[in-house]
Amino acid sequence: MAQFNPTDIETHEFDVIVIGAGGAGLRAAIESLASGASTALICKSLLGKAHTVMAEGGIAAAMGNVYPDDNWKVHFRDTMRGGKFLNNWRMAQLHAQETPDRVLELEEWGAVFDRTEDGRILQRDFGGHRFARLAHVGDRTGLEMIRTLQQRAVSLGTNVFMECTILSLLQDDSGQVVGAMGYWRETGKFVVFKAKATILATGGIGKSWKVASNSWECTGDGHALAAWAGADLIDMEFIQFHPTGMVWPPSVRGILVTEGVRGDGGTLRNSDGKRFMFNYIPEMFRAETADTEEEADRWYNDKKNARRTPDLLPRDEVARAINSEIKAGRGSPHGGAFLDIYSRRTPEYIRRRLPSMYHQFKELAGVDITAEPMEVGPTCHYAMGGVRVDPDTTATTIPGLFACGEVAGGMHGSNRLGGNSLGDLLVFGRRAGSHAAQFATSASAPKASESQISQIAKEALEPLNREGGENPFDVLHNLQDTMQDLVGIIRKESELSEALSKLDELEERRKKAAAGGNIQYNTGWHHAIDLKAQLTVSKAAAMSALARKESRGGHTRDDYPARDDEGFGKINHVFRWNDGTATLDPETLPQMPPELAELFEEGTH
């Protein structure tokens, strides 16, 4: 029987700990160290394997290298419109203002971006962005970014704790967060990190859906850790279904196909060969979207005299359109839409611009994208909602706790534009590192409670000590089916209510899950533990989705198909977790100052 010996626990102490080592966590750790704080970086996988590595298209930054007319105000406007005005305006502003510097900083640290003819950083077109704005490296920008940040963090001497899963935050009597407790995946032994300031940078929640682009790590740990500690989560109903995931063969269903395919000239077609996106241009984007194929194709090279192709509408619009075409019986043979670049660009161009897409389809699907169309369909990709933070400092509603990157909410409103996540990681990762280090200078020595530590250990060991319980993999697969079927791309009241009761049943089953085998690198045990966070976060998503009786961005209600700008359009949903009881409250959205509101007055809102 696995037992916990409190006298034998490994303990570390730092000024700042960062949980998660994707783009946001790495950037936060670099800044925290540079600010003079002793810093630890803790991650579930090996360093450099986090989900950021899969980002493809690029980093949106108004550098104006390709279109000098671009500036932060245009980027800010695009971001707010893409998010259907539910974004925290201040986060969107800071993001648009600071991304160009963050990109140049990556170059100084060794990133090698694709170049313009005159030797500057090249920028590509992407959905919802008025100008070609994404700094990129082919279609493997995330790899470039994570490797650059990883090498920078290592060269600065960051303390890295790999393959370590955090179970819970630690809090003192006042509720202040004073570190975190976790276990080593390799040995199963517990470890305590005492810290004056703690940064959550744990990424997304997509692994609770069956068809998802996310890696196994995206189990919403940070969202749940924050909620359990009493922090607010906002906007959890908004889940981005990326329009283009692979659909065939079944084993690769959901793997991402970059928006860069459309940015570089690809177009969506239905089974009749028709470019159906022209039928799905919403009123809000009509004035700036091409309405003929001729104009759309001209736009790639002439932004002044032609309007953008509807293939590059924001992701929520494109995902719903593909979903509708499939439902109307105009899908591809394996239940997707066709994505065609082969008939529009030369093989050399495709291989140079999209090398990993070429490789991925060739190796995994036996499809040559320079000679035939891809089949694509929506895949669960990104959580817009997350931990509520102060826009300038990334401080959560609990003292000592900060959050940045995908785990933080607000920046993207109801729908994130492609290219805005990598910028988000850099801008708010840096801010988190800086403000956490600053907070640590005035915080007293962290005092963790021994009874809390014992309680965390006891609960974590339960699946190992239980005889003949449920297979954790079965509970996980049932959760993924539930979220896919009932809290998916199109939602309705009856299904969301059913999801909530199923989640309660799954929570009971989780508490009976048993992991056979010993404590060392035991995947069944790891899943049994991850499920706790997944179920809390899934409940937050389902509750928030049930309460929002409108359709907006990454939340589409079959029973409330319209946007309700005067009602739900003015509120955030705040999810809280009080000793196992979940509550949801509407709160008024922060209002942007007049000088920013003016940017939206010309043309359509």
Partner 1 sequence: MASNDQVTVELWRGDGKEGQFVEYKVDAMEGEVVLDVVHRIQATHANDLAVRWNCKAGKCGSCSAEINGKPSLMCMTRMSTFEPGTTITISPMKTFPVIKDLVTDVSFNYEVAKKVPSLKIAPPGEDGVRRMYQKDIDRLQEYRKCIECFLCQNVCHVIRDHEENKKAFAGPRFFLRFAEMAMHPLNTEDVRTAAKDEGGIGFCNITKCCTEVCPEHIKITDNAIIPMKERVADVHYDPIRWIGRKIRGKK
In the complex, the residues that contact partner 1 under the rule CB under 8 A are 45-51, 53-54, 104, 107-110, 112, 114-115, 118-120, 137-138, 140, 142-144, 147, 151-152, 154-155, 160, 162, 186, 215-217, 248-252, 255-256, 355-356, 359-360, 363-365, 471-474, 477, 515-518, 520-525
According to DSSP, the residues that pair with 92 across neighbouring strands are none
CB 240 within 8 A of CB 315: yes
Residue 585 C-beta: closest distance to partner 1, Å: 36
> Which among 127, 59, 139 has a CA at the least distance from the CA of 419?
59
**Tokens found for residue 541:** 């998503």
For partner 1, give the closer residue by CB, 143 or 453. Answer: 143
Please count the helices (runs of H) and the strands (runs of E) in the chain: 17, 20
Residue 183 C-beta: closest distance to partner 1, Å: 14
Is residue 334 part of the annotated active site? The answer reads no
Coil, helix or strand for 245? Answer: strand
> Which among 161, 163, 141, 165 has a CA at the least distance from the CA of 153?
161
For partner 1, give the closer residue by CB, 339 or 411. Answer: 339
Q: How many CB atoms lie within 10 A of CB 1?
A: 5
Residue 523 C-beta: closest distance to partner 1, Å: 6
For partner 1, give the closer residue by CB, 108 or 595. Answer: 108
- Please give the Cα distance from 204 to 51 (Å, whole number): 9
Residue 308 C-beta: closest distance to partner 1, Å: 26
- CB contact set of 207 (below 8 Å; sequence gap of 6+): 214, 215, 216, 217, 218, 219, 480, 534
Catalytic residue among 81, 136, 140, 242: 242
Catalytic residue among 262, 275, 308, 435: 262
- Please give the Cα distance from 181 to 448 (Å, whole number): 10
Whole-number Cα distances in Å, 27 to 33, 79, 156, 488, 599: 10, 22, 12, 32, 31
For partner 1, give the closer residue by CB, 128 or 524. Answer: 524
Q: What is the CA radius of gyration of the chain?
A: 23
Residue 203 C-beta: closest distance to partner 1, Å: 11
For partner 1, give the closer residue by CB, 277 or 365. Answer: 365
Is residue 388 part of the annotated active site? The answer reads no
Residue 473 C-beta: closest distance to partner 1, Å: 4
Residue 68 C-beta: closest distance to partner 1, Å: 13
Residue 539 C-beta: closest distance to partner 1, Å: 24
User: In degrees, to the nearest 5, what angle opens at C-alpha 505 toward C-alphas 501 and 506?
Assistant: 115
For partner 1, give the closer residue by CB, 151 or 324. Answer: 151
DSSP structural state of residue 481? H
For partner 1, give the closer residue by CB, 154 or 490. Answer: 154
For partner 1, give the closer residue by CB, 54 or 313. Answer: 54
CB 188 within 8 A of CB 519: yes
Q: Which residues of 342-356 are buried (b: 16+ CB within 10 A; e: fewer)?
A: beebeeeebbebbeb
Q: How many residues does the chain have?
A: 605
- Please give the Cα distance from 89 to 95 (Å, whole number): 10
- Please give the Cα distance from 594 to 537 (Å, whole number): 36
Residue 451 C-beta: closest distance to partner 1, Å: 30
Three-class HEC string of 288-326: CECCCHHHHHHHCCCCCCCCECHHHCCHHHHHHHHHHHH
For partner 1, give the closer residue by CB, 54 or 229. Answer: 54
Strands 233-234 and 490-491: unpaired
Q: What is the DSSP string of 489-547?
A: SEE-HHHHHHHHHHHHHHHHHHTTB---S-STT-HHHHHHHHHHHHHHHHHHHHHHHHH
CB 106 within 8 A of CB 293: no
Which residues are catalytic, by number? 242, 262
